[in-house]
């Protein structure tokens, strides 16, 4: 059997207790095939059904870039693709709306499939790139975003929203389309439950002319430069950067910002920054 690289889970392990580390993955789709190797062309060994729990180690197939969960059963090591799995972090099982900034959502930790904040409100259409479509955020995040956009406007910079809250189901559709388009190892769209957009505190931002929509080139715009300098003072951070690709498992996304709540002081902003790898 070929050697596969174990992923660095350092980011997930930060602050995680042994109990958290033992949380199993659950089959999210109706069924998922079990393979001998972390490879779709390897022999199949039956399947797991929706809701079944499975624990093991994440491995990556370097040829397809697809992630698999390797698990032991009957003295053998078997594999299922993480594309069909979900793992809900215990912090996210709390009743009701989760405290903003304390939710844990990564490539390896998810929200509950039925999590939908109760305080979602529409972002005023004037701040959205397509006024016909309603974009929603949690009330506190929407108010903070508008205050940030108004501050940018005073500095002569116009910023718009192109995507905000997404339900588990709409993320599921996005993910399926991305896999169809880019293959099972795609890294642009998060698996359902594992997207920060389900929090209702996360936005994709664009320039008003729409010349840099979900493009790396957004990182060269006056809009991004303004956000890079000022977003933290409003409690917002770019989630996926050049610096944290290994920890987050996602490529840099200069347009994707998440609200962590209003920092109390300037010191709180600077001391919070190094924790970006563990969010
Ligand atoms: Zn995004």
Using one digit for the tens of pLDDT, what is the confidence trace for 164-191?
999 999 999 999 999 999 999 998 899 9
Q: Tell me the mean pLDDT in the region 216-224.
A: 97
Residue 4 has pLDDT above 60, yes or no: no
Q: How far, CA to CA in Å, does 66 sit from each of 39, 112, 174, 249, 271?
A: 8, 23, 17, 12, 35
- Residue span(s) of the chain under CATH 3.30.1380.10 come to 118-278
Write the CATH number of the domain with boundaries 118-278.
Answer: 3.30.1380.10
Ligand 1 midpoint to CA 163 (Å): 7
Ligand 1 midpoint to CA 42 (Å): 34
Ligand 1 midpoint to CA 75 (Å): 41
- Residue span(s) of the chain under CATH 2.30.30.40 come to 5-86
**Top-level class of domain 5-86:** mainly beta
Ligand 1 midpoint to CA 272 (Å): 21
Ligand 1 midpoint to CA 235 (Å): 17
- 159 versus 6: the higher-pLDDT residue is 159
* pLDDT digit string, tens, across residues 223-238: 999 999 999 999 999 9
The dihedral region occupied by 191, where left means phi > 0, alpha psi between -120 and 50, and beta the remainder, is beta
ipTM comes to 1.00
Ligand 1 midpoint to CA 20 (Å): 26
Ligand 1 midpoint to CA 139 (Å): 19
């Amino acid at each position: 059997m070929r050697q596969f690289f174990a992923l660095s889970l350092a980011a997930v392990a930060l602050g995680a207790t042994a109990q958290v580390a033992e949380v199993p993955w659950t089959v999210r789709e109706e069924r998922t095939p079990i393979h001998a190797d972390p490879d779709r062309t390897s022999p199949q060994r039956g399947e797991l059904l929706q809701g079944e729990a499975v624990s093991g180690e994440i491995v990556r197939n370097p040829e397809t870039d697809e992630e698999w969960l390797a698990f032991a059963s009957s003295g053998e090591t078997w594999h299922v693709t993480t594309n069909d799995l979900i793992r809900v972090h215990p912090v996210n099982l709390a009743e009701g709306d989760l405290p903003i900034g304390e939710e844990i959502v990564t490539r390896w930790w998810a929200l509950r499939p039925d999590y939908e904040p109760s305080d979602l409100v529409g972002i005023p259409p004037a701040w959205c790139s397509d006024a016909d479509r309603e974009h929603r955020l949690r009330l506190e995040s929407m108010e903070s975003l508008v205050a940030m956009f108004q501050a940018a406007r005073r500095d002569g910079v116009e910023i718009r929203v192109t995507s905000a809250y997404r339900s588990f189901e709409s993320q599921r559709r996005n993910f399926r389309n991305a896999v169809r388009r880019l293959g099972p190892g795609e890294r642009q769209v998060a698996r359902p439950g594992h997207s920060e957009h389900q929090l209702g505190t996360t936005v994709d931002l664009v320039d008003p002319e729409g010349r840099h929509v979900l493009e790396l080139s957004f990182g060269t715009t006056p809009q991004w430069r303004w956000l890079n300098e000022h977003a933290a003072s409003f409690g917002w951070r770019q989630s996926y950067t050049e610096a944290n690709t290994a920890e987050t498992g996602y490529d840099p996304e200069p347009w994707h910002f998440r609200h962590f709540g209003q920092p109390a002081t300037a010191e709180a902003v600077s001391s919070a920054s190094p924790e970006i790898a563990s969010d």
